[in-house]
Structure 1
Amino acid sequence: MKTRTHAFWLRCLWLWLLLGGAATLSATAAPTLDGLWKGPLKVPGGQLEVVFRLVSLTGGSYFATLDVPLQKVSQIAVAVEIKGDTVIFAAEEAGSSFVGRLASGGKQIDGVWRQPGYQSPLTLTFTAAAINTAPKARLTPPYREEEVVYSNIPANLRLAGMLTVPAGAGPFPAVVLLSDAGAHDRDGTVGTYRMMGILGDYLTRRGIAVLRFDDRGTGSSTGDLARTTIAELVSDVQASLNFLRTRPEINLAQIGVIGHGEGGNVALLSATQPLPPAFVVTLAAYGVPGNELAVQQQAALLRSLGTEQAQIDAASKRQKAMLEIVRQTPDEAQAKAIVANMLRQNNTAVDGEAAQASAAELTSFRYRYFLGFDPLKHLEKVKCPVLLLNGTADLYVAAESNLTALTKTLRGNRDMTSKKLPGVNHLFQSDPAEWPLVNGQPRETFSPATQEIIRSWIVARTGGGK
């Protein structure tokens, strides 16, 4: 599944000229490039790793995609063309391309990345792709799986997902899983990483039923996520909880919610409403207002790229000025024009078309709402048990500021646990050095220690699970 969170633009305000979209084009090339081609793309303030994935198809064409792991951008379709020793990767709709020359050994391509108003040298090196036998060799899990569809009547939409139930008669404790900001499928898929699918499997194998569903307008669910606020997403949680309450294999008094990123804030808000969940687990939920979080995200990213503090401070100052324009200019067309002008004046290499595209995203309904969102409002109403988790390696929702703010606000809750997870990033992956090897290649996975923290905390409050 192609999954891009809206946070790509939010978190990379000053790196916005890196990527702008995708196009699927026919491509013709000899089947000699199968695998991964990786390289560091220099951008203002540092560099980002880009990964081209190529798989040869019958007839000599390629299926090819582009990933930018640091930005959680994945599976952008590209076209591949080979002319002698010249290799061309293109995303024409975005006006972006990479043109390079394949070295004699066939393991390196030296070339140039180009897009409107920007170009940079780029060297790609070859890595053999791991053999993925999972689709053919998937074993039947030791629990029941059921495709489900249920209605959110107040919002007049249908939610589709997967209910997994442990073996046995039950009734079992259960959780609803909520993904981070942006359109995600029921597995919370980012590239080949299935965050919610992995967590759901772990919990179900250990005695906890799990309901995970496609976000609005994604997969088999209806609705329009782009015009939906965080507060309005609470009704999706309520619909999910009520669906589980109809199931005889589910313990009615032990249904909780686990939310990632923005989903964690939705989970907390659901606990302030009538018929709340029995417990809430947040995974890197926001603890500071959206406009502050956006500045924190950019600063953390630039810092991770080795940018000097003076440059970070200057970028933050420009960003704050722009965000204030967005917040204080209700006329969308006027705000868009001002922001586009600011972008071009801040970087004269940026062309008008790219500036307009960025300005449209930065002044969109969803982003405006995000900037004004106060994650601490109403949390004094949360009375159920709460587990707050945040990784110390999270560049998008910093543990120090966000976890601290949530912990302080919920201090009146008699059963609130707050934990910082050493070395865990925003996707709740541990250090890559700790990833398991699959077919000789490290495979990204949900932090095992974090999974067990979640399971044991739930079991301690429900008596269920193993």
Structure 2
Amino acid sequence: MKTKILSILLFSIQFIFAQEITGSWQGELDVQGMKLPLVFHIKKEGEKLISTLDSPKQGATNIPVSTTSYSADQLTLELPALGISYSGKVTNESINGTFKQGGMELPLILSKIKGDELAPKLNRPQTPKAPFTYKTEEVTFVNPSDKNTLVGTLSEPNNFNKKQPILIMITGSGKQNRDEEIFGHKPFAVIADNFAKKGIATLRLDDRGVGGSSKGTPDETSFNYATDINAAVLFLKAKGFENIGLIGHSEGGMIAPIVASTNKDVKFLVLMAGPGQPINELLVQQIYLGGKLAGMSEEELQKSNQINRIKFDFIKNYKGTSFDTDFDNFIKTSGEAVAEAEKKQMKNAWFRYFVAFNPDEYVSKVKIPVLAINGSLDFQVPAKENLEAIKKSLTKAKNKNFETYEFQGMNHLFQECTTGAINEYAEIEQTISPKVLDKMSSWIIARK
């Protein structure tokens, strides 16, 4: 459950400028204490201004801006699909403006970049670099259920015995590439590299709509993504692999039990910060803890809790046939102000399925070996409540072979951190703690 606000912030935002407006401009958003650098590149095509956005901390480049207009020293950038706009006054080589998204407004000052001095490159020392000491192969297969194509990387140690463990890696929420790239970190690439050096094979995939994989459809849910992972199991089985496991992070830790509960070719699971609580309850707690880390008052937090419970309960329990209309009427009668961008998100098929999801429905059917891990400072999927819920569900399943483990001082990305707040994700150079890599790999090797 990657922070929705960040993913929207980052994959949105549009700006452009200069007295000579063309060129590259950079600024820094302050989002709940996290500094988020942005770089906008503006050029002319004929008489029209065209711009793109880079977000260096998130490893995102060349994101197209929908609308760029510049008149009377006023620059306006818009991305209607995400409810985002930016407007600023251009003075010499800076732009003083306001970034808006939904009900949120943030100041953003952009400065023109001289020469090639772009934002500094992030240091990510754990990111693996070629040449590798193991085999990697680009693979493609089709999901027979939804008919979409999936593309990924198969990493296989040299002289690999197909009776040894191989894991399919499942990303968290939001569209992500096969490396689960975020803030310049590539955690799945780091895990795959570490595992391959220890004799463990992996298959990591681009999500629908990312990299080489098919675009998908607007109404897909986590259940559809589970069919992608099921197709990956069938693909590996057809290639002769016998000891297939699943490793899922965040929402991926929710998808893994869906697949394992019905596919007998899945032999073990690793759940990294996977949810165990009903998701409507988890989201209320997540928003509360995130707000607390951002410095909100207890009065504000409690008010937010009350509003969120009402909204999420409505979504979870809705049984009608005209959700969009009924939800709009519900919001009106509740007297709460909800931004259009937020309403659009809550009407989304994926979000509705997500809010109504109870992991126990599937985890309580899992009888194969399970390792469930979490960080003590994870505010997105709090360790204590979710590990306990997973343990309870596996006990209900009469599962005799599982382990839950809480890593002290680690966040949702399994980085060694100070508070667990979002602003640390990008600032920490470590992608994933070696302690976590060692714990997972030693447990997996024991599945031989």
TM-score by length of 1: 0.76
| Contact map agreement 1:177 1:210 (CA 8 A) in 2 | yes
2:424 alignment partner in structure 1: none
CA positional deviation for 1:266? 1.6
Q: Is the counterpart of residue 239 in structure 1 residue 231 in structure 2?
A: yes
Mapping for residues 384-463 of structure 1, pairs under 5 Å: 384-411=368-395, 412-431=398-417, 443-462=429-448
Query: Is 2:16–2:51's contact at 8 Å kept on the other side of the alignment?
Result: no
- SS of the equivalent of 1:315 reads helix
Match of 2:38 in 1: 52
State yes or no: 1:334 paired with 2:330: no
Q: Residue type of the partner of 1:425? A: N
* Alignment partners' CA distance in 2, 1:185 and 1:284: 19
The number of residue pairs the alignment matches comes to 422
Q: Which runs of 5+ in 2 are unaligned?
A: 420-426
TM-score by length of 2: 0.78
Structure 1 residues 300 and 131 mapped into 2: Cα distance closer, same or farther (>3 Å)?
closer
SS of residue matched to 1:427: coil
Q: Secondary structure at the match of 2:132?
A: coil
Deviation at 1:174, TM superposition (A): 0.8
Deviations 1:322-361 (A, max 9, x none): 2233344432232342355379x534xx7xxxx3332122
- Whole-angstrom distance in 2 between the partners of 1:179 and 1:52: 25
Q: Aligned pair in 2 of structure 1 residues 58, 151: CA closer, same or farther (>3 Å)? A: same
Asked whether the equivalents of residues 386 and 415 of structure 1 are also in contact (C-alpha less than 8 Å), the reply is: yes
Shift of 1:460: 2.0
User: SS state of the match for residue 264, structure 2?
Assistant: coil
C-alpha displacement at 1:68, in angstroms?
8.7
Whether the aligned pair in 2 keeps the contact of 1:68 and 1:74 (CA below 8 Å) is no
Q: In the aligned structure 1, how far is the partner of 2:90 from the partner of 2:430?
A: 31
For 2:30, the equivalent position in structure 1 comes to: 40
Task: Name the counterpart of 1:8.
Answer: 4
Given that 1:96 and 1:116 are in contact with CA atoms closer than 8 Å, whether structure 2 keeps it comes out as no
Q: 1:243 to 1:449 in 2, by over 3 A?
A: same
Matches within 5 A, 1:34-433: 37-41=27-31, 49-53=35-39, 64-66=53-55, 90-91=77-78, 93=80, 94-97=83-86, 99=88, 112-114=98-100, 119-121=105-107, 128-130=119-121, 138-171=129-162, 172-222=164-214, 224=216, 226-248=218-240, 250=241, 252=242, 254-329=243-318, 330=320, 331-338=322-329, 341=332, 345-347=335-337, 355-411=339-395, 412-431=398-417
**1:436 alignment counterpart:** none
Sequence identity, in percent? 25
Measured in 2, the distance between the counterparts of 1:262 and 1:196 equals: 14
- Work out whether residues 2 and 380 of structure 2, in 8 Å CA contact, stay in contact via their aligned partners in 1: no
Contact 1:144 1:164 in 2 (8 A): yes
Distance 1:430 1:89 in 2: 40
| Contact 1:181-1:261 within 8 A present in 2 as well | yes
> Take 2:56 and 2:311, find their aligned partners in 1: how far apart are those partners?
28
Compute the RMSD of aligned alpha carbons: 4.2
- The answer to whether the Cα contact below 8 Å between 2:13 and 2:84 also exists between their aligned partners in 1 is no
| Counterpart amino acid of residue 428 in structure 1 | F
Q: Secondary structure at the match of 2:153?
A: strand
Task: Give 1:166 shift.
Answer: 0.9
CA contact (8 A) 2:24 2:41 kept: no
> Displacement of 1:294 after TM fit?
1.6
CA contact (8 A) 2:100 2:106 kept: yes
CA distance in 2, matches of 1:310, 1:360: 27
Distance 1:82 1:236, change over 3 A: closer
State the Cα deviation string for residues 392-412 of structure 1 (Å, max 9, x = none).
222211112111110122133
Shift in Å at residue 114 of structure 1?
A: 4.7
Judged with a 3 Å threshold, the aligned counterparts in structure 2 of structure 1 residues 169 and 339 are, in CA distance, closer, same or farther, namely same
Counterpart amino acid of residue 196 in structure 1: F
